[in-house]
Amino acid sequence: MATQWTFKCGQVFSVFLICLCALTSRAKSEAQEVPQSCATHHLAPLIPFTVIGTYPHDPRAFTQGLVFFDGFLYESTGLNGRSSLRKVALKTGCVLKEYDLPDQYFAEGLALWGGSLIQLTWKSGKAFQYGLKSFAIEREFRYPGEGWGLTDDKKRLIMSNGSSKISFIDPKTFAVERVTPVLDGGRPVRLLNELEYIKGEIFANVWHDDSIAVISPKSGEVTGWLDFSALRSRLPPSAMDLNGIAYDPKDDRIFITGKLWPLLFEIKLSKRTAPSAPPPAANRPKRSGQLPKTRCPLLSTLSSVRHSSRSDLW
Ligand SMILES: [Ca+2]
């Protein structure tokens, strides 16, 4: 497979607008509490967090994997004919480098391993290993079943496949070393998607859920949930699933975004509270007026995407 990458910033109109937008948009510095909706289908306690910054994100990016390394985001985008591997500037959202996968591949999770990037595909049973700087394909791996999310714990790759189980994988051979069921109060958590390993825990997007499960790698037990449903008030209707988690260990920063989201959010976790029953509805925090207002209105107009069928939207 020929390796091709191109500089997109300035060549693609939408990305140009992202860059233009960046001239007037900066990450907001003020911390603002995010209300929690206390989703009743979650049993583990909610983890409070604060949105401390917003950044532009390409609203055409069907985000399937997100990694932060050395000051830059690396992103995997999906859909057949639109799948890519990208290097993205955090503050501007500009795509600095891009490799477009052949049309038959639907790219999925992404992880950094040993100076290389490893990208899953949805149903092709194939993962690609790329040079971090060159984006040249160094190696291909085969695996059974579907590929959804990917991260690592510095020892093994950690992979999801849309089920309620996560697999720990030898990064040299892609052999499965162990499989762990993910349980929330004893109940399987299905549709585990994009992953990120953060300070000894696995953060997992759940498909069709605006929440992130925080999972113990040893037990598979969900120890808490992050509820992002309130962010919908800051997103256009075209913004699809929450599906992108990246961690900057140097500055202890967590970034989240989603499929076709025009924004990427930086969040800071608050101190966790002991498990407790959800408060009465009358005591729940109100949603209005508590989230940062965007300074990037142009981005919300660029969210069109062509879908062949709903079954393509993963
Ligand atoms: Ca990730």
Alpha-carbon distance of 30 to 314, in angstroms, equals 34
Burial of residue 18 (CB within 10 Å: 0-12, 13-18, 19+) is buried
E strands, 71-149, are 72-77, 84-89, 95-100, 107-113, 116-121, 126-131, 137-142
pLDDT band at 107 (very low <50, low <70, confident <90, very high): very high
Q: Find residue 176's DSSP bridge partners.
A: 169
User: Domain boundaries in the chain?
Assistant: 13-276
Of 202, 207, 246, 268, the C-alpha closest to 111 is 246
90-119 in b/e burial notation, b at 16+ Cβ within 10 A?
A: bebbbbebbbbbeeebbbbbbbbbeebbbb
Alpha-carbon distance of 254 to 212, in angstroms, equals 12
The counts of H helices and E strands in the chain are 1, 23
CATH of segment(s) 13-276: 2.40.128.630
Give the helix ranges, DSSP H, for the chain.
Answer: 13-24
Expressed in angstroms and rounded, the spacing between residue 96 Cα and the centre of ligand 1 is 19
Please determine, for residue 24, whether its predicted confidence score (pLDDT) is greater than 50.
Answer: no
Give the three-class secondary structure for 7: coil
Please determine, for residue 288, whether its predicted confidence score (pLDDT) is greater than 50.
Answer: no
Expressed in angstroms and rounded, the spacing between residue 55 Cα and the centre of ligand 1 is 17
Burial of residue 66 (CB within 10 Å: 0-12, 13-18, 19+) is buried
Expressed in angstroms and rounded, the spacing between residue 40 Cα and the centre of ligand 1 is 26
Question: What does the pLDDT read at residue 118?
Answer: 98
| pLDDT tens-digit series, residues 218-264 | 999 999 999 999 999 999 999 999 999 999 999 999 999 999 999 99
Q: What CA–CA distances, in Å, run from 125 to 88, 128, 204?
A: 26, 10, 21
Please determine, for residue 134, whether its predicted confidence score (pLDDT) is greater than 80.
Answer: yes
Percent of the chain with pLDDT over 90: 72
Expressed in angstroms and rounded, the spacing between residue 277 Cα and the centre of ligand 1 is 30
**Mean pLDDT, the chain, integer:** 82
Expressed in angstroms and rounded, the spacing between residue 217 Cα and the centre of ligand 1 is 15
Expressed in angstroms and rounded, the spacing between residue 245 Cα and the centre of ligand 1 is 4
Residues in CB range of 187: below 8 A, 6 or more apart: 43
Alpha-carbon distance of 263 to 276, in angstroms, equals 32
- 132, 112 Cβ separation under 8 angstroms: yes
Expressed in angstroms and rounded, the spacing between residue 91 Cα and the centre of ligand 1 is 18
pTM (whole model) above 0.85: no
Of 147, 143, 125, 138, the C-alpha closest to 3 is 138
Alpha-carbon distance of 228 to 256, in angstroms, equals 10
pLDDT band at 215 (very low <50, low <70, confident <90, very high): very high
Burial of residue 289 (CB within 10 Å: 0-12, 13-18, 19+) is exposed
232 backbone dihedrals φ, ψ, rounded to 5°? -60, -30
Please determine, for residue 277, whether its predicted confidence score (pLDDT) is greater than 80.
Answer: no
Expressed in angstroms and rounded, the spacing between residue 126 Cα and the centre of ligand 1 is 18
